[in-house]
Structure 1
Amino acid sequence: MIGDFEVKDEDLAGRIGILETKHGKLETPVFFPVINPLKQEVFLEELKAVGFNNFITNSFILKKNNILQGTIHEKFGDNFVIMTDSGAYQILEYGEIEQTNRDIVSFEAKIRPDIAVFLDIPTGNTDDREEAKFSVEMTLERGKEIADIVDQNEDIIWVHPIQGGQFLDLVEYSAREANKRTNYKMLALGSPTVFMEKYKYDTLVDMIYTAKSSVSRGVPFHLFGGGVPHIIPFAVALGVDSFDSASYAIFARDNRYLTSERTYRLEDLEYFPCSCPVCSRYDPSELLEMKSEERYKLLAIHNLWKIREEVNRVKQAIKEGRLFEYIQQKAYSHPALYSAFKSILKYSSYLEKYDPRVKGNVKGLLLFDHNSMNRPELLRHSEFMANLKPKRNKVIIICGDKLGSPFISDPKVKSIQGRNRDYDTFVALPFYGLVPVMASEAFPLSQFEIPDIIDDTTLNETILKIKETLRNKNYAEIKFMECEKSVLSHIMSINPTL
């Protein structure tokens, strides 16, 4: 059925899904390149050559310029899943437009795209709460006023935008109200572009989390204007399923060159750090010597390659259960991304809620520094240890960073357990804290890699975790073994009476 959304794989709050449209199945996460019907920097056949079978275009521009005589697929072909925006961006840039919401939506129903957005009122980056509240209320009213058109055109996936900007309580209200309107098969967060342009990625993370945590999990979620590769993994980790942007073309016209981690000025590059068809054929100096229109096209094609590559990297990370590791690595490429990563860690319980307990493709965890202690798997282990009931009133702690894996099979552990059968036995590990020996074969208590040199914050937090566990278990006797040369050797100073 049109609008059905089937989730195939999950990691953190991100997922790979299949969205059913009347022109084919669309695998998410997915990026919709913006196509300007008046001026196409990249033609549709070139778009398809990069790997895009979908795009978004502006119904307001189509209507204003009388570009279509029939349906949108009659003009652009049946080989693409086509989404139409409504002119809200023009409202944000220029103020009110000379079309009503009902005019735009009636036109969209006539041209029959696969996915369509009504004419919402963007909040933008206003600091005026009343102005932001007005945009939320008007957007909700506009979604209500065209409900009859939505109901009469069920073969179109109608999108309900969420507004509120930096006022998170308004974002939450907007999201909850939009979520009640079940005739809208897709939800979308509006007005993020202004925050991305100023590198306020931590604010963007807060906006996405607030909206996503306020709507149904099964509804596909779109982020308007999410067009730079380096922010895509963070948005997907929070549950965003699709993106759109004209960034690939806008940046090209400004001689800006996208990479997975940052944006370069073309004139600052001597070498291309990429092997796409453009970068394999030319070097930066050759592009700079070209006529501007030719250069813009080539840069736009390169930028599209990088966006598509980033989406595929994120999908692969989800398949492997390594999305946390991927955004952690990405975070160190720019301070603004590190701020985004730290903001995501504020919502660790939300990520843990949706992160699958069983991940068939995961070979083991890669743990780097104290931030890794916020992984869902480690949060679950801490909860498990908090609820674990002691079987005996005495305990032995074996420092495990020098032991073989799994610990239950290590000869030293077997020997210690054999001589001390009236003791509970745990292994002390950096990042994890205490691990019951008898449970150490369970994933991921033995399946992990850690650095040879562990940062002090991780060690200190591990010690605090061990102290808290032992305090709560109220053991009468605590013995430490194999800890003298361990990185956790200072746990031997724990007072058993704590």
Structure 2
Amino acid sequence: MKFNLTISDSKSKARAGEIITDHGKIETPIFMPVGTIASVKGVHQSELKNEINPDIILGNTYHLYLRPQTTILEQAGGLHKFMNWDRNILTDSGGYQVYSLANRRKIKEEGVKFKSHIDGSTHFFTPENVMEIQRSIGADIIMAFDECTPYPCEYNYAKQSMERTHRWLTRCVNHLKRTPLKYDYNQTLFPIVQGSTYKDLRKQSANFIASIEAEGNAIGGLSVGEPAEEMYAMTEVVTEILPKDKPRYLMGVGTPINILENIALGIDMFDCVMPTRNARNGMLFTAHGTINIKNKKWENDFSPIDEMAITYVDTLYSKAYLRHLFASKEMLGKQIATIHNLGFYLWLVREARKHILAGDFTQWKDTMVKQMNKRL
């Protein structure tokens, strides 16, 4: 993997660059649609590629391990072929599921014992077998096994968890050196900075992660319930330390406003289920604020879903029609809303890139944050 830093903004830490892997170029900043179980929920691959048009999507190691299982993925030739996606894929490590399955798992130094949410069967993740699983899945960018701490989190536990995450990282790196590729393209490991919302721990972790000299780095353990200002503070601490010539991925973030503010702090890559999850509940994101399409006020509004026509669905359908679909519980409504929201997120990061290149990112960002912080 290569990362070329094209330009840095003069009034913020925002950057524009490009990541190049064996599956193509990723222009940054980038938002990665979440394809948890080999599918970006509710969206055909043809619509994903031709209308939303991301350079990279995300898959979930925990879910793909449980279903369809790695043996099936290997027989298919890896996740790219299994889901018919010839662009980049990133897989997380399962660390977030360690966090979210609090009542179904037990963390030890060796790894994490957990029960499947599908059938209750018992499984064990270690840094070594998580690397094996991600080899089998075959993503272009794979994540080190880590523990995502909850918020709030006591200092001593956050410190212990961070140090364990660092030891697990060393085991991940060592195991990958001993493990051959399964497919005919390269994979790149991203370590993950942890440390909860404690600045000294975040500094320690960022320094340790930087010392690994990986080709890219991630920041985890944020967007787990902490106030946005704490998220921004931790991100700023970490981006001061992580190498500037490597891409930085802020995991699981976030709202459109979160994304713009973190771009300004030097983040290059994002993912979040918010655009798809909120779409299925009738919440649409636009450049002028959020819309609850279920509200009666849209009942006879025959204007386009989004006047900016970010995706083709915005010109094909009116707000009134989309509201009708939601009121009728027609599945097409959720699909249209999902395509719109994902299209908006990709539009947003690409507009950010344009303004970074043009030299007026900060002014544009401040205007957009004010506009998007409205309920229409």
TM-score normalised by length of structure 2: 0.81
Q: Deviations over 1:285-321 (max 9, x none)?
A: 3223223422111111000111011011101110110
* Partner of residue 287, structure 1: 322
Check whether the contact 2:196–2:221 (CA below 8 A) recurs between aligned residues.
yes
The more displaced of 206-215 and 133-142 is: 133-142
* Partner of residue 176, structure 1: 207
Shift of residue 233 of structure 1? 2.0
* Partner of residue 4, structure 2: 6
Q: Secondary structure at the match of 2:195?
A: coil
Q: Which amino acid aligns with 2:2?
A: D
Q: Secondary structure at the match of 2:218?
A: strand
Shift of residue 330 of structure 1? 3.1
Check whether the contact 2:352–2:365 (CA below 8 A) recurs between aligned residues.
no
Structure 2, unpaired ranges of 5+ = 106-113, 115-122
Give the whole-Å Cα distance in 1 for the aligned partners of 2:229 and 2:369. 12
Shift of residue 162 of structure 1? 0.9
Q: Which amino acid aligns with 1:127?
A: C
* Partner of residue 235, structure 2: 208
* Partner of residue 109, structure 2: none
Give the whole-Å Cα distance in 1 for the aligned partners of 2:289 and 2:224. 17
Mark the CA change 1:105 to 1:261 in structure 2 (over 3 Å): closer, same or farther: farther
Q: Which residue among 152, 157, 163 is the counterpart of 2:188?
A: 157
User: Rg: which structure is higher?
Assistant: 1
Structure 1, unpaired ranges of 5+ = 337-498
1:190 lines up with 2:220 in the alignment: yes
Q: Secondary structure at the match of 1:215?
A: coil
RMSD of Structure 2 on Structure 1 (CA): 2.2
Check whether the contact 2:60–2:91 (CA below 8 A) recurs between aligned residues.
yes
* Partner of residue 45, structure 1: 46
Q: Secondary structure at the match of 1:249?
A: helix
* Partner of residue 16, structure 1: 16
| Residues 94-113 of structure 1 aligned to structure 2 (within 5 Å) | 94-95=101-102, 96=105, 97=114, 98-100=123-125, 101-113=127-139
Shift of residue 335 of structure 1? 7.3
Check whether the contact 1:109–1:149 (CA below 8 A) recurs between aligned residues.
no
Give the whole-Å Cα distance in 1 for the aligned partners of 2:362 and 2:158. 33
Shift of residue 229 of structure 1? 2.0
Mark the CA change 1:203 to 1:292 in structure 2 (over 3 Å): closer, same or farther: farther
* Partner of residue 256, structure 1: 283
Q: Which residue among 92, 103, 108 is the counterpart of 2:99?
A: 92
Check whether the contact 2:34–2:271 (CA below 8 A) recurs between aligned residues.
yes
1:76 lines up with 2:83 in the alignment: yes
TM-score normalised by length of structure 1: 0.62
1:130 lines up with 2:160 in the alignment: no
Check whether the contact 2:95–2:145 (CA below 8 A) recurs between aligned residues.
yes
Check whether the contact 1:126–1:132 (CA below 8 A) recurs between aligned residues.
no
Q: Secondary structure at the match of 1:8?
A: strand
Q: Deviations over 1:70-126 (max 9, x none)?
A: 322221346210111122222221123333132221111233211001221002312
Shift of residue 144 of structure 1? 0.8
Q: Deviations over 1:320-365 (max 9, x none)?
A: 10112122223434779xxxxxxxxxxxxxxxxxxxxxxxxxxxxx
Q: Which amino acid aligns with 1:34?
A: V
Q: Secondary structure at the match of 1:146?
A: helix
Check whether the contact 2:30–2:350 (CA below 8 A) recurs between aligned residues.
no
Check whether the contact 2:78–2:138 (CA below 8 A) recurs between aligned residues.
yes
Mark the CA change 1:262 to 1:140 in structure 2 (over 3 Å): closer, same or farther: farther
Q: Secondary structure at the match of 1:193?
A: coil
**Greater length-normalized contact order (CA 8 Å, ≥ 6 residues apart):** 2
1:29 lines up with 2:59 in the alignment: no
Q: Which residue among 236, 243, 246 is the counterpart of 1:219?
A: 246
Mark the CA change 1:227 to 1:277 in structure 2 (over 3 Å): closer, same or farther: farther
The more displaced of 299-308 and 249-258 is: 249-258
Give the whole-Å Cα distance in 2 for the aligned partners of 1:334 and 1:307. 12
| Residues 282-361 of structure 1 aligned to structure 2 (within 5 Å) | 282-290=317-325, 291-333=329-371
Q: Which amino acid aligns with 2:60?
A: N
Q: Deviations over 1:9-61 (max 9, x none)?
A: 22132211121211112211111111122663212221112211320101221
Check whether the contact 2:306–2:315 (CA below 8 A) recurs between aligned residues.
no
Mark the CA change 1:317 to 1:74 in structure 2 (over 3 Å): closer, same or farther: same
Q: Secondary structure at the match of 1:126?
A: coil
Q: Which runs of 4+ in 1 moved over 4 A?
A: none
Give the whole-Å Cα distance in 1 for the aligned partners of 2:97 and 2:323. 32
Q: Which amino acid aligns with 1:310?
A: L
Give the whole-Å Cα distance in 1 for the aligned partners of 2:155 and 2:289. 32
Q: Secondary structure at the match of 1:99?
A: strand
Check whether the contact 2:191–2:217 (CA below 8 A) recurs between aligned residues.
yes
Check whether the contact 2:195–2:202 (CA below 8 A) recurs between aligned residues.
yes
Q: Deviations over 1:358-384 (max 9, x none)?
A: xxxxxxxxxxxxxxxxxxxxxxxxxxx
Give the whole-Å Cα distance in 2 for the aligned partners of 1:42 and 1:227. 20
| Residues 423-438 of structure 1 aligned to structure 2 (within 5 Å) | none
Number of residue equivalences = 330
Q: Secondary structure at the match of 1:73?
A: helix
Q: Which amino acid aligns with 1:44?
A: Q
The more displaced of 39-48 and 55-64 is: 39-48
Q: Secondary structure at the match of 1:16?
A: strand
Check whether the contact 2:25–2:55 (CA below 8 A) recurs between aligned residues.
no
Aligned residues: percent identity? 24
Give the whole-Å Cα distance in 2 for the aligned partners of 1:206 and 1:91. 25
